[in-house]
Structure 1
């Protein structure tokens, strides 16, 4: 009797979706970047548009008091704010215009390095193409179709708008003089001591003393000093600030 095999059921998605963009540094380290999509970029652009409007309104109102001279100067100001606002902020403020900064975004090169003058000029001068035929239609279509949400200016400039990663803060430890442990600590033990020091703000004084007293014998100190000794060892493990 011929054997029959049950066909394997195929799932719709073999691998989970991943919106991270990875670049490899010269040291061979993968640098994960998270591209920003169209909605958050549109909000950032709207904020920048409002900032530019307020800035232009204030400057032009003052220049109009100068008559014809003010009219000429106003044309120059209008050009500078319209075309150089984004470029100056992106290059001089780590890829962040005020709108991008408020939304937690920044512009980088495709390899993750900070954006420079040529790339910023290219991506911003091509905004008029992204605006065609109206309302940033081409730019929006390009963002929606591209895997890393690039508009035409980004494609030409070799740039990418990504979420700005939050800086990691060092844990806050109780004040103590850094010292070395009187015995060899394995990795798990180092982590346990650091975790004990970090969590003291959430523990009562009695619970802190109770936990620290478990190590009075190996530490060679009385129970009343065990917590202070452990805090000093934790500072020693972290090194100088």
Structure 2
């Protein structure tokens, strides 16, 4: 498609938009296979909320357990002490390793813990990051952990830095876009990647545009598509279905 026929809904960056460094908190890693992963580190607030939820769950479980075991006298209190140790030190580790890096609090907030290279968290890293919480809480109220999160580009607390771990958002799996009904068609000309994205973007946003606006945008590329302006919109939808392929 010649440059003069490029539609205004193209997804290519305009000259005014800097493309060198994105203005977000994306964290990019490269796998041993050479695949680039773009991760979204979780900030201080969602992490604090997730920890608060986990703390409330542990408190509720221990409260009920202490009341029930207290009826057994000294033997029950001994069991309660063991349970307190297990829940205090192993609650987070077990959930992180056995539940894809997600404790109940993290799962509610859509977070998970992974290694810096994007791989699932392991026993050694999970134990390290959770045992070092006693450093993060110093001198009081998680002061060192908060300062570390606020000063690290990936919002890591000291335990994460030592363990090589990262708390990220769980990205939802991509879904097939909802396109207007049309018979799949082949484009009459070769389309580069940017032009394919532009046509798909038009079809995906068609329901949110007025009929006049759709006709105006579609008519711009009617000539390269070898159709009349009135037929251009339906042709674009057909090409979009063809680019997506069968369901």
Correspondences of 1:35-74 after superposition (within 5 Å): 35-74=41-80
Asked whether 1:91 is paired with 2:97, we answer: yes
Give the structure 1 partner of residue 174 of structure 2: 168
Asked whether 1:145 is paired with 2:151, we answer: yes
TM-score where L is the length of structure 2: 0.67
Q: Give, in whole Å, the separation in 2 of the partners of 1:82 and 1:27.
A: 38
**Cα offset for 1:145?**
0.9
SS at match of 1:106: strand
Structure of higher RCO (CA pairs closer than 8 Å, 6+ residues apart): 2
Q: Give, in whole Å, the separation in 2 of the partners of 1:34 and 1:16.
A: 13
Seen in structure 2, the aligned counterparts of structure 1 residues 15 and 30 have a Cα distance that, compared at 3 Å, is: closer
Q: Deviations over 1:79-116 (max 9, x none)?
A: 00011000011011111111111111110100011101
Asked whether 1:32 is paired with 2:38, we answer: yes
Q: Give, in whole Å, the separation in 2 of the partners of 1:101 and 1:131.
A: 23
**Cα offset for 1:237?**
7.9
2:113 equivalent among 80, 84, 107: 107
Q: Deviations over 1:40-96 (max 9, x none)?
A: 111111111111111111222211111111010000000000110000110111111
**Cα offset for 1:27?**
2.6
1:134 equivalent among 137, 140, 146: 140
Higher CA-based Rg: 1
Unpaired stretches in structure 1, ≥5 consecutive residues? 1-13, 174-178, 203-233
Q: Deviations over 1:161-196 (max 9, x none)?
A: 1111011234579xxxxx999xxx9899x99xx99x
Give the structure 1 partner of residue 82 of structure 2: 76
Seen in structure 2, the aligned counterparts of structure 1 residues 131 and 235 have a Cα distance that, compared at 3 Å, is: same
